[in-house]
């Protein structure tokens, strides 16, 4: 049995750090294990311009624990008013690695997102020219579409028309949750990839709803049927270059989750790597964890693989049940099984 695994330090290609006191409380959890993370821009108000991304990056760097070399990679929040030249300048300076598309109303702080996709055509064309990826929250917001069908509907109704109109656009289908999404990425060539979260590899919709409603398993896109979870596990453990880790670790204080209208988000920054090692071991795919967590994302974003390395050892993993923050405790995602892999260096 494999007892230890050394891989290049992983990156998290989809992370919510928030701001202020919450940022300071949760940042050490990601900085401990990850070398870099792609930081989501859905603050209140959102990070729309290069100047806002610059200021947000400075606040993240100022909040880092002493001596940490964690690098935040920034994104811009796409609105119908986004200036293509502001985006191009930010990309050329190396300030931003991607632009994030939230369909308006799809999820947390997405109200300033896109309603009319024709109105962002100019930005998408400029991004295609310079090779800057578009990260998409892939769910339609049409109230007529069932929440469990919203990702599959997005592929046909929104993503396919965008890609047909802008064929060179590079796209990341964020937090893919369906077998349709996995198939779309597999068939889509080298300009499309998907991130997969740790929690969507663990839970299906029964975990969320059977025997009582579990607010800490509620996230968007919502967990789907077991066959979809199986498709995600197969994709993540395949080693295929189009699939890589984006935790979507999204802190909300417990009072905001354990509520009559609970917020969407699972907080996995503390135990995502231990969960992944467990899943990959069960699949007999520990040797492909490196591709998923450390290699494929860097290749897609055309960045070097991290020079430093981490070692995972087969010993019980300790992680806190909750992170204390000035806004109240944040519950760490409970996979529902014990974790046998710890990050040791
Ligand atoms: O579960 C989620 N939480 N999904 C998202 O798309 C947003 C995120 C958040 O910001 O809390
Ligand atoms: Zn997210």
Q: Taking the C-alpha atoms of 62, 73, 81 and 141 in order, what is their torsion angle to the nearest 10 degrees?
A: -110
Q: Domain containing 22 — which CATH number?
A: 3.20.20.140
DSSP one-letter code for 159:
I
Amino acid 86: pLDDT: 98
Q: Is there a contact between 239 and 221 (Cβ–Cβ < 8 Å)?
A: no
Q: Which residues contact 177 (CB under 8 A, 6 or more apart)?
A: 151, 200, 221, 222, 223, 224, 228, 232
107 lines ligand 1 (CB under 6 A): yes
Bond before 91 cis per omega within 30 degrees: no
Question: Which residue in 248, 254, 327, 334 is the catalytic one?
Answer: 248
The answer to whether 111 touches 79, Cβ cutoff 8 Å, is no
The pTM for the full model equals 0.98
Cβ-Cβ contacts under 8 Å for 21 (sequence gap 6 or more): 325, 326, 327
Host H or E run for residue 37: strand 36-39
How many Å apart are CA 17 and CA 72, to the nearest integer? Answer: 10
Identify whether 248 is a catalytic site residue. yes
Query: How many separate domains does the chain show?
Result: 1
Structure tokens at 12: 């998290």
Q: Is the CB of 256 under 6 A from ligand 1?
A: no
Determine which residue's CA is closest to atom 10 belonging to ligand 1.
108
Q: What is the DSSP letter of 195?
A: E
3 state SS of 202 = helix
Task: Report whether 244 contacts 299 (CB < 8 A).
Answer: no
Query: CA-to-CA distance for 340 and 342, rounded, in angstroms?
Result: 7
The preferred substitution site among 220, 224, 257, 259 for testing ligand 1, maximizing ligand atoms within 8 Å of CB, is: 220
* Sequence-distant (≥ 6) Cβ neighbours of residue 107 within 8 angstroms: 42, 137, 139, 220, 264
Q: Is 97 in the pocket of ligand 1 (CB under 6 A)?
A: no
Contact by Cβ (8 Å): 202, 275: yes
Q: In sequence order, which residues have a C-beta less than 8 Å from that of residue 164 and are 6 or more positions away?
A: none
Residues of the chain scoring pLDDT < 50: none
Q: Quote the CA–CA distance of 230 and 155 in Å, as a whole number.
A: 20
- Report whether residue 100 contacts ligand 1, using a CB cutoff of 6 Å: no
Instruction: Identify the sign of the CA torsion 198, 199, 200, 204.
Output: positive
The encoded tokens of residue 96 equal: 């931003």
What integer pLDDT is reported at residue 254 of this predicted model? 98
pLDDT, tens digit, 9 for 90 and up, residues 143-169: 999 999 999 999 999 999 999 999 999
CA atoms lying within 13 Å on the CB side of residue 187: 8
Q: According to the model, what pLDDT value does residue 2 have?
A: 86
Q: Domain range for residue 212?
A: 4-343
Cα 13 to averaged position of ligand 2 atoms, centre (Å): 10
Task: Find out whether 49 and 76 touch, Cβ atoms under 8 Å.
Answer: yes
User: What does the pLDDT look like over 70-81, one tens digit per residue?
Assistant: 999 999 999 999
């Amino acid at each position: 049995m494999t007892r230890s695994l050394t891989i290049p330090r992983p990156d998290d290609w989809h992370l919510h750090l928030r701001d202020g006191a919450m940022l300071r409380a949760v940042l050490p959890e990601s900085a401990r294990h990850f070398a870099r993370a792609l930081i989501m821009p859905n603050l209140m108000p959102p990070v729309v311009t290069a100047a806002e991304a610059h200021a947000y990056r400075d606040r993240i760097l100022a909040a880092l624990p002493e001596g940490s070399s964690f690098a935040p990679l920034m994104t811009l929040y796409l609105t119908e008013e986004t200036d293509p030249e502001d985006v191009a300048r930010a990309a050329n300076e190396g300030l931003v690695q991607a632009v994030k598309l939230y369909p308006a109303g799809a999820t947390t702080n997405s109200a300033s997102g896109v309603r009319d996709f024709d109105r962002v055509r100019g930005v998408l064309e400029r991004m295609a020219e310079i090779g800057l990826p578009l990260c998409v929250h892939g769910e339609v917001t049409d109230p007529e579409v069932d929440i469990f069908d919203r990702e599959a509907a997005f592929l046909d109704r929104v993503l396919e028309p965008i890609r047909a109109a802008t064929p060179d656009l590079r796209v990341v289908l964020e937090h893919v949750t369906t077998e349709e999404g996995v198939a779309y990425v597999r068939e889509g060539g080298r300009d499309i990839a998907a991130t997969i979260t740790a929690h969507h590899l663990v839970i299906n919709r029964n975990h969320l709803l059977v025997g009582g409603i579990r607010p800490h398993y509620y996230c968007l896109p919502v967990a789907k049927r077991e066959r979809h979870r199986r498709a995600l596990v197969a994709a993540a453990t395949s080693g295929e270059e189009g699939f890589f880790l984006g935790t979507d670790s999204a802190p909300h204080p417990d009072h905001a989750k354990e509520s009559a209208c609970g917020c969407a988000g699972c907080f996995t920054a503390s135990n995502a790597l231990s969960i992944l090692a467990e899943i990959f071991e069960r699949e007999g795919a520990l040797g492909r964890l490196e591709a998923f967590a450390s290699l494929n994302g860097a290749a897609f974003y055309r960045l070097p693989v991290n020079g430093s390395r981490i070692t995972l050892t087969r010993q019980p993993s300790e992680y806190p049940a909750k992170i204390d923050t000035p806004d109240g405790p944040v519950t760490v995602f409970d996979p529902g099984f014990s974790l046998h892999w710890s990050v040791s260096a």
